[in-house]
Amino acid sequence: MSFSIKNVILYSHDGKIRVLSLRRHGLNIITGKSKTGKSALIDIIDYCLGRGSYNVAEGVIRKKVSWFAVELVKGEDQAFIARDNPGPSASTGSKIYFRRGVHAERPTLADLQKNTTENALKSFVTQFAGISENEHRYASGKVSQHAANISHALFLCFQEQNEIGNHDRLFHRQGEPFIPQAIKDTIPYFLGAVDEDHFLLRAELDAAMEKLKELEGRENAKNRAYDTELERIRRLVLEGKRLGLLDQSFEPVDKAETIEMLHDVNTRDFTASEVVSDFGSTIERLKGEQTTLQGSLETTNQDTRAAKSFLSDQNAFSRESSEQAARLKSIGLIKHAKDDISICPICENDLIEPVAGADQISKSLDNLTIQMEAIHRESPHLQSHVADLERKQDTLTESLREVQFSLRQAIVEDERARNQQDQLVARARFIGRVSSFLELVSPEDGDGGLLEQIEAAKLAVSALKERVNSDDITQKLDTFLNFVNGKMTEYSDQLDLEHKGSALRLDVKKLTVVADTEDGPIPLTRMGSGENWVGYHVLTHLALHWWLRRQNRPVPGFLVLDQPSQAHYPVDQDQDGKLDPLKDEDRHAVHALFSLMCKACQEIDENFQLIVLDHAHIVEDWFEEAIVEEWRGENALVPNDW
């Protein structure tokens, strides 16, 4: 047995109390004009039963009400739950008052003080509804998503005005994120196809799948690391071959063998027998000698050229002087040389232009003779000097050639030494990388047994999946749904709906109604007109609660329908709830719909409470007997004097 709603209670800011009393069993109709607070009842009840958000529309209720409360009844047990009105623009309240048991007097506004939390309230209402403990907590404290509580049960208990005529959504809040999956997960439990252990199995399955995922992640990481190690090994082997540290024919096929080879390379000393000479100073010295010799040779060359030029000039002067002396010797032909330079010394005639006298010519000849004798004396010395310079030039040239040859050899040797030094450095770096790699490389059996753990985890997941999705559960769910489907088809015969006479079924995988016709299955989304959408919503939820009450399932024993006549009774045609303004077919459809609800309440177990919020008022005894309150004129959920 689950609970039903005895009273919905509102408290004003000055302590006044408004009580909306409901029949515990059967049809409860609250009729009236729009904007009187009918639709707010769903939000108020949902809020008091533990919903985290406060969704009452902005307006009179948010302004004039200080606390909301519901009185729940379950057999002889009762519970009083009150929550504060957070006021305009607020999304949730912070105060919750809870009291259990039968009490003679209702709490006053002064009594309403916070005495519990939202989580505690939700836990109590879940238990009060008859939902057994099925929550599973992991070692980390995380709660399994596979668990049933009062929030899941209430998806089957409300049909708001924008839901009851929706062809895309069959259940309450189905359009919100994650809600459809929550309904799919919990509806087999509420129908009775699975018990509380099913949720624990689902939690175990989640844990097993999470463990399998973690193990497979480790294995994938290990494989990626192994591939990375192999690639590093290949690069190290190639570099070792290039540096001459590994045999050119070696191939890194086997990881263990390659690592052993690298260990051997890491322990060998490749630098002890190598002696690398530094030729830098030799090259600099030879370059200095080359520069010095080049300078000396250039100086010697200049001296040699100067000496040879001087010798050449001397020879030319000697020749010229010899010729001049030969001409001057002709002065010996003059027998009477005179000092008078105006008389020719040869013909003794007077000269227009005076010429040198014989004695002057003789003096010049004597001077030339002296100079010639000096040249003849110095010439052998000069020639010897030139020969010395040429020998020195040859010596310097040969020395320069030898120095340049030595310099070229030194440069070659220096380059070889540099290459050898670079190779030594490269080998040292290579050995360092090998050492670092060997420190980090994982051994072959570094994660031993991981594959065995994965196989064991796969077997565990498979076994749990088989238990969770066993054929017995599937068959049981299909069987129970067949009962619900049969009742849906039966109820549809009382309404003039499209596809009337077809076999109806509830598709819990897609959360919709399907009519199986001779032309194939037709889901609710492909059925036309608001009359069909409302009709199929109503008959589906009535059929569900017929089964829930028949099996005494842990779902609250009430169903709230908001404005089921909306497809036929628009608000703008409301005339005190009368059906007279409606067309005959609309009056007939509204009458048939309420008749179905009345008959269903009579058929369903007495613990079922159907609360209908509507504008219509059918003037018939059975309808008027079901009216709890009629909010017209000054009447409304919130009194005008608040």
Tally of CB atoms within 10 A around 162: 13
Contact 167, 522 (CB under 8 A): no
Contact 6, 633 (CB under 8 A): no
Least confident of 241-255, 325-339, 407-421: 325-339
Contact 54, 90 (CB under 8 A): yes
The whole-number pLDDT of residue 470 equals: 73
Task: Clarify whether residues 161 and 47 are in a common domain.
Answer: yes
Task: Clarify whether residues 565 and 490 are in a common domain.
Answer: yes
Model confidence over 78-115: pLDDT tens digits? 999 999 998 888 888 889 999 999 998 999 999 999 99
Q: What percent of the chain has pLDDT over 70?
A: 82
The whole-number pLDDT of residue 488 equals: 96
Model confidence over 463-515: pLDDT tens digits? 888 887 777 888 999 999 999 999 999 999 999 898 888 999 999 999 999 99
Model confidence over 295-319: pLDDT tens digits? 888 888 888 888 778 767 666 666 6
Task: Clarify whether residues 36 and 179 are in a common domain.
Answer: yes
Q: Is residue 204 part of a domain?
A: no
- Average pLDDT of 267-278? 57
Task: Clarify whether residues 376 and 505 are in a common domain.
Answer: no
Tally of CB atoms within 10 A around 123: 17
Domain boundary among 382, 415, 433: 433
Strands (E), 470-591: 503-507, 512-517, 520-523, 558-562
Terminal CA-CA length for the chain: 38
Task: Clarify whether residues 414 and 502 are in a common domain.
Answer: no
Tally of CB atoms within 10 A around 37: 23
User: Does 326 have pLDDT greater than 80?
Assistant: no
DSSP, collapsed to helix, strand or coil, labels residue 17 as: strand
Q: Model's pTM, two decimal places? A: 0.66
Q: Is residue 218 part of a domain?
A: no
Task: Clarify whether residues 627 and 551 are in a common domain.
Answer: yes
Q: Is residue 45 part of a domain?
A: yes
The whole-number pLDDT of residue 325 equals: 59
CA–CA gap between residue 99 and residue 101 (Å, rounded): 7
Q: Is residue 125 part of a domain?
A: yes
> 94: buried, middle or exposed (CB in 10 Å: 19+, 13-18, 0-12)?
exposed
Model confidence over 587-622: pLDDT tens digits? 888 999 999 999 999 999 788 999 999 988 998 999
Task: Clarify whether residues 474 and 428 are in a common domain.
Answer: no
The whole-number pLDDT of residue 338 equals: 47
CA–CA gap between residue 372 and residue 317 (Å, rounded): 9
Question: Helices 255-267 & 358-440, crossing angle to 10 degrees?
Answer: 130
Confidence of residue 412 (pLDDT cuts 50, 70, 90): confident
Task: Clarify whether residues 619 and 539 are in a common domain.
Answer: yes
Q: Is residue 438 part of a domain?
A: no
Task: Clarify whether residues 69 and 179 are in a common domain.
Answer: yes
Q: Where residue 306 sits, what CATH number does that domain have?
A: 1.10.287.510
Task: Clarify whether residues 181 and 34 are in a common domain.
Answer: yes
- Average pLDDT of 140-151? 71
CA–CA gap between residue 65 and residue 63 (Å, rounded): 6
Q: Where residue 171 sits, what CATH number does that domain have?
A: 3.40.50.300
Domain boundary among 433, 459, 488: 433
Q: What is the mean pLDDT of the chain?
A: 83
Phi, psi of 272 (to 5 degrees): -65, -40
Task: Clarify whether residues 411 and 483 are in a common domain.
Answer: no
Q: Is residue 167 part of a domain?
A: yes
The domain containing residue 110 runs over which residues?
4-192+470-631
Q: 284-298, 304-318, 356-370: which has the highest mean pLDDT?
A: 284-298
The whole-number pLDDT of residue 335 equals: 44
What's the CA angle centered on 514, arms 508 and 519, to 5 degrees?
145
Phi, psi of 450 (to 5 degrees): -65, -45
Q: Is residue 224 part of a domain?
A: no
Task: Clarify whether residues 429 and 307 are in a common domain.
Answer: yes
CA–CA gap between residue 156 and residue 170 (Å, rounded): 10
Q: Is residue 559 part of a domain?
A: yes
